[in-house]
């Protein structure tokens, strides 16, 4: 079970390493969840990581046990909050993984503070959210449907609606998915947003650390379209990029395959 902690302004969940390394201490894995999720949504991922690595999953602003913080909800602000949390860990350069919104934030963190990140894993990064129509606050309209459901629906209604997505998942993932929807402070939608950031496929060459891109199948709901993947390949022809037979929820749809990619990528990170 994870231990609940706090770094900077953010709530966090830590899975402590349960085995010691034969050599130097292994880098901590820090995970950033997507919109409407929480740090605890990384639970089954943490259980599949090497036992000699600690994992810390942050609850981003207004998600999980982190309250809605003062100020805006721009991706740059979330990146600054994540940077402060990582600095507060005193963990040295970390392995950073981000899913969806968390992928955008992780990308920004790596661009701004490469000294903090030894390796970067981008899991279905929501670059597209900065390229679609938004409301007057800058919130992407593609995300508004779920926001309305969270605001109006009961836990039972959310569970029934999500059943087709979650029924094939590990029960832990299904449970944390629902808990996250109940925990999120949906008022964050009304803050000022900016999802159009420096985190794009075209900025991948500016990264100063190795990166892994994991994407699902566009026919199953991946936000990494074929055109987007072409942009990745044009920017970094040798990119370590993989598609799984999965939806946007790659690590939950294909947990063992996903974990295998990550473990191979981080094996020689230290």
Predicted pLDDT at 1: 84
The confidence score (pLDDT) of residue 21 equals 62
Give residue-wise pLDDT tens across range 192-223. 999 999 999 999 999 999 999 999 999 999 99
User: What is the reported pLDDT for 22?
Assistant: 63
State how far the alpha carbon of 168 is from the alpha carbons of 144, 152, 246, in Å: 25, 26, 12
- pLDDT tens, residue by residue, 101-131: 999 999 999 999 999 999 999 999 999 999 9
Neighbours of 26 (CB within 10 A): 20
User: How many Å apart are CA 166 and CA 243, to the nearest integer?
Assistant: 20
Instruction: Encode pLDDT of 55-97 as tens digits.
Output: 999 999 999 999 999 999 999 999 999 999 999 999 989 999 9
Q: Please, what is the average pLDDT of the chain?
A: 96
Asked if residue 85 lies in contact with residue 12, where contact means CB atoms within 8 angstroms, the answer is: yes
pLDDT above 90 for 132: yes
Give the pLDDT band (50/70/90) at residue 18.
confident
């Amino acid at each position: 079970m994870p231990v609940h902690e706090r770094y900077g302004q953010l709530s966090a969940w830590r899975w402590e390493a349960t085995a010691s390394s034969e050599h130097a201490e292994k880098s901590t894995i820090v995970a950033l969840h997507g919109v409407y999720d929480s740090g605890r949504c990384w639970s089954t991922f943490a259980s599949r990581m090497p036992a000699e690595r600690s994992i810390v999953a942050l609850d981003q602003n207004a998600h999980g046990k982190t309250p809605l913080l003062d100020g805006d909800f721009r991706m740059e602000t979330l990146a600054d909050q994540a940077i402060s949390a990582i600095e507060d860990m005193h963990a040295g350069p970390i392995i950073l993984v981000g899913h969806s919104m968390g992928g955008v934030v992780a990308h920004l963190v790596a661009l701004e503070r490469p000294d903090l990140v030894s390796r970067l894993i981008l899991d279905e990064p929501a670059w597209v959210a900065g390229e679609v129509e938004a409301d007057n606050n800058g919130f992407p309209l593609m995300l508004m449907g779920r926001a309305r459901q969270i605001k109006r629906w009961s836990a039972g209604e959310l569970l029934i609606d999500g059943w087709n997505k979650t029924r094939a998942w590990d029960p832990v993932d299904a449970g944390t998915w629902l808990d996250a929807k109940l925990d999120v402070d949906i008022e964050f939608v009304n803050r000022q947003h900016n999802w159009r950031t420096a985190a794009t496929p075209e900025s991948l060459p500016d990264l100063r650390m190795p990166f892994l891109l994991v994407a699902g199948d566009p026919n199953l709901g991946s936000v990494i379209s074929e055109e987007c993947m072409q942009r990745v390949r044009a920017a970094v022809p040798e990119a370590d990029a993989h598609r799984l037979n999965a939806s946007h929820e790659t690590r939950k749809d294909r947990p063992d395959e996903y974990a295998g990619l990550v473990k191979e990528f981080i094996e020689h990170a230290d």
